[in-house]
Amino acid sequence: MTSTLDRTSDTTSGSPLDPALVARLAGLVTAAEGRATQSSYSPFDGALIGDVPTCTPEDVDEAVRRARTAQVRWAARPVAERCRILLRFHDLLLAEQKQVLDVTQVETGKARHNAFEELADAAMTARYYAHSAPRHLKATRRQGAVPGLTKTVEHHHPKGVVGVISPWNYPLTLAVSDAVPALLAGNAVVLKPDAQTPFTALIAVELLVRAGLPRELFQVVTGAGPELGPPMIERVDYLMFTGSTRTGRIIAEQCARRLIGFSAELGGKNPMLVLADCDLDKTVEGAVRACFSNSGQLCISVERMYIEDAVYDRFVPAFVDRVQRMRIGSGLGWEPEMGSLVSKAQLDVVRRHVDDAVAKGARVLTGGRPRPDLGALFYEPTVLEGVSDGMELMRDETFGPVVAVSRVRDADEAVERANDTCYGLNASIWSSAKRGAEIAPRIQAGTVNVNEGYAAAWASHDSPMGGMKDSGVGRRHGREGILKYCESQTVAVQRLLPVGPIPGMALERYAKVMTVAARALKKTPFVT
């Protein structure tokens, strides 16, 4: 099959951002006067967006100092007051969405509807935690050591200063959505956004301040990860990281040396299982979103597809035909379904993986080439068949608009091959709802979506999200996503009798009494 991909007529690049806005956002960075600067360029056409300071370890030190001072006052404010600020932020995100979407698109090259997904997720996260934080954080009565005599209460105290290192692929939601629960738990935040996308993170910080967040509570430092990551880890009380598994291992070692907690969402090579009883039309549409949202630059997007033999010869041609009809282009309109890659480095990875697979025998069903006529960093959505071990594409995360399709005899083989990876971030199953739900627990992944690609599990904010195996440590979202930013403290008040021998009681007698009590309590349920 060859590609005759439909393109949008609007392939013009986005208009430059307002210089006054760019300067105002750059002013939010914590940096000493006179620092060197680094430039941000639009992937659409290489146009200069603006400059931010190149921060140093001394700037990190100052950012943490300011944040730590502000955190003491913030933690003393009632949780309900903090929640009201985050609800105002939710409203501002929605009200100011045109400007936020423009900044996000110009800086990342993604299609507008993908930028909107980011904005919507950040707003939904703020809303969820603003309503649920009081429940998650409230002091909780626990079963005491001696029923009726020990009153035990669990409290949650903020860690202090939380460091967040966010990536370039979702620079709005992965900066804000990890910071929101940290803030509501009473912490301050020091954010280091990726060097390629500082302004998207900064516009979110500006909206938080407009919503009423104390300015000093949320600090931002900009620069390269290897220069700023280690000094940040040396100073903060907890670290949240999203990025590659390779970098995640380095960060884990650095955090371990200080004995501070960390959470990390890392790489993925996510599978999709297409089973014989799926709804073919819905599966084709869902597969396009699962594979090519954000040009495939999504930690939880699908890169491997296992299709049951009974449906393979119907599904694959329909899927390829739909991919060939995708609308691809740049600009700030809503027409394109897929935008640009973010950088030449990312384009090079995609080209290398596809070229290596083809050289070793894989077949291109559609796509398989860059599109410089659309922009320097565009690459066609690509479907490959015949990908096997020994090809980079089989095992390594591509992080681009490429998916490998494979025929399997049945669901059991699909599950086996889906689990044949060092990663375990996300998976997708297309089948009847009942059958899909029965198969899902067999998949070794932190989230599994049935009849959806990734959004159903990701957007279920009350439930934890994260990776198994080499795909991460810890969870974001839900109760786990806020309590990880807390220190748990147990306060136990003993009444009437001690937890130990009564004065004057012989120790042997005490042991016999406790043995009888332990046997009597064996079947007593733990209640609070």
Active site residues: 265, 299
366 in Cβ contact with 323 (< 8 Å): yes
382 in Cβ contact with 364 (< 8 Å): yes
Place of tokens 């990536």: 167
349 in Cβ contact with 399 (< 8 Å): yes
Encoding tokens for residue 411? Answer: 């669901």
| Strand 472-473 relative to strand 261-265, pairing | antiparallel
478: helix, strand or coil: helix
Sign of CA dihedral 418, 419, 422, 425: positive
399 in Cβ contact with 346 (< 8 Å): yes
Cα–Cα distance for residue pair 108/301, rounded to 1 Å: 17
Place of tokens 């995100």: 93
DSSP string, 203-268: HHHHHHHHHT--GGGEEE--S-HHHHHHHHHTT-SEEEEES-HHHHHHHHHHHHHHT-EEEEE---
Q: Which residues contact 274 (CB under 8 A, 6 or more apart)?
A: 283, 287, 305, 306, 307, 308, 311, 315, 430
501: helix, strand or coil: coil
125 in Cβ contact with 172 (< 8 Å): no
Q: Which residues contact 31 (CB under 8 A, 6 or more apart)?
A: 53, 54, 55, 56, 59, 221, 222
